[in-house]
Amino acid sequence: MKSAIITGITGQDGAYLAELLLEKGYEVYGTYRRTSSVNFWRIEELGISQHPNLKLVEYDLTDLASSIRLLQTANASEVYNLAAQSFVGVSFDQPITTAQITGVGPLNLLEAIRIVDPKIRFYQASTSEMFGKVQAVPQAEDTPFYPRSPYGVAKLYAHWITVNYRESYDIFGCSGILFNHESPLRGREFVTRKITDAVAKIKLGKLDCLELGNLDPKRDWGFAKEYVEGMWRMLQADEPDTYVLATNRMETVRDFVRMAFKAAEIEVEFSGAEDTEVAKDVATGKTVMRVNPRFYRPAEVDLLIGNPEKAAAKLGWKPETSLEQLCKMMVDADIVRNRMNASF
């Protein structure tokens, strides 16, 4: 039986990847952090938390000794490093913690691989945030990087150290430059889920108005479940490499707001500009969304759209779910959860 380690199993991608690897017959070591109240709601919702081939291991990415012990215990042939302080907004308030976890953390795992077994295959969760300020459209593997947040800068270190270990020590290190990917399991601090959760609450009469920051940024949003399949394919390839996963379609945050309300059968109309922009329910005239500058970031990434041709050609990977389908799936899931007063 093949064995794999997934760091960050309590996160969105960790949960979907665990589901995929268990389906493929792997033994999965999923890591979670020691906190006062660990939350396994995602793997519970997927129905895999009690799976006999899933082992949950306490682990912190910033600790080299525990990285070595993790590899020794699991005897895994593949390591998927999904753990990170992954919220861009928070990285401006906690830049040092972000650098330690998101930037240097992966180096602990690479060093542990070098010490324990250099044949272990390693996946690093890199990000379109490394492209940051637009240098080319659409962005591909060879587009120059220009990160715009402490998170993006930290991820860039992790990306290059993965490439460096590949070239220096022949470690099978893959870097997946993934554009935004969402799902009903997305954390509520990220904009798509913040929107779909609020739309569900407004639909059910539990909330009057959603507050957002900048509505102009354009993002390339895909479905997370499809993106974890791409991660797995990268580690099955003959050679380690760097790949972009994206849909090659972009929309603004404002477009996603409109789409989410539409999925709940509420038509909205936008008016006002920048700080005073609002969206009103056409049927009732009520304001259901307003801009609050509190959510603006010190530096913004205006436009991300990826070119996934290399992943299509070399891995046979292709996104299938449209943004409209994804958005509807998220709104529907949030309506069900809010009806049950679920807290996640």
85 binds, among ligand GDR, ligand NDP, none (CB under 5 to 8 A by kind): ligand NDP
Contact pattern for ligand NDP over residues 28 through 47, marking x by CB under 6 A: -----x-x------------
Active site residue: 27, 78, 129, 226, which one?
A: 129
82 contacts ligand NDP (rule: CB under 6 A): yes
| Rounded CA separation 55/73 (Å) | 11
Annotation marks residue 129 as catalytic: yes
| Rounded CA separation 175/173 (Å) | 7
The nearer residue to ligand GDR, 76 or 91, going by C-beta atoms, is 91
Please say whether the beta carbons of 314 and 231 come within 8 A: no
Residue type, 46: L
Contact pattern for ligand NDP over residues 186 through 205, marking x by CB under 6 A: -x------------------
The nearer residue to ligand NDP, 218 or 280, going by C-beta atoms, is 218
Half-sphere exposure at residue 87, Cβ-oriented, CA atoms within 13 angstroms: 15
Pair of tokens at residue 21: 């690897």
Strands (DSSP E) contained in the chain are: 3-7, 27-32, 54-58, 78-81, 121-127, 173-178, 181-182, 210-212, 218-219, 222-223, 242-245, 251-252, 268-271, 278-281, 287-291
Annotation marks residue 269 as catalytic: no
Annotation marks residue 151 as catalytic: yes
The nearer residue to ligand NDP, 244 or 259, going by C-beta atoms, is 244
Q: Which of 217, 222, 230, 306 binds ligand GDR (CB under 6 A)?
A: 217
Contacts of 275 (CB under 8 A, 6+ apart): 291, 293
Q: Judged by CB under 6 A, which stretch of 210-218, 231-239, 258-266, 316-324 contacts ligand GDR?
A: 210-218
Contact pattern for ligand NDP over residues 54 through 73, marking x by CB under 6 A: -----xxxx-----------
The nearer residue to ligand GDR, 27 or 182, going by C-beta atoms, is 182
Residue 167: Cβ within 10 Å count: 11
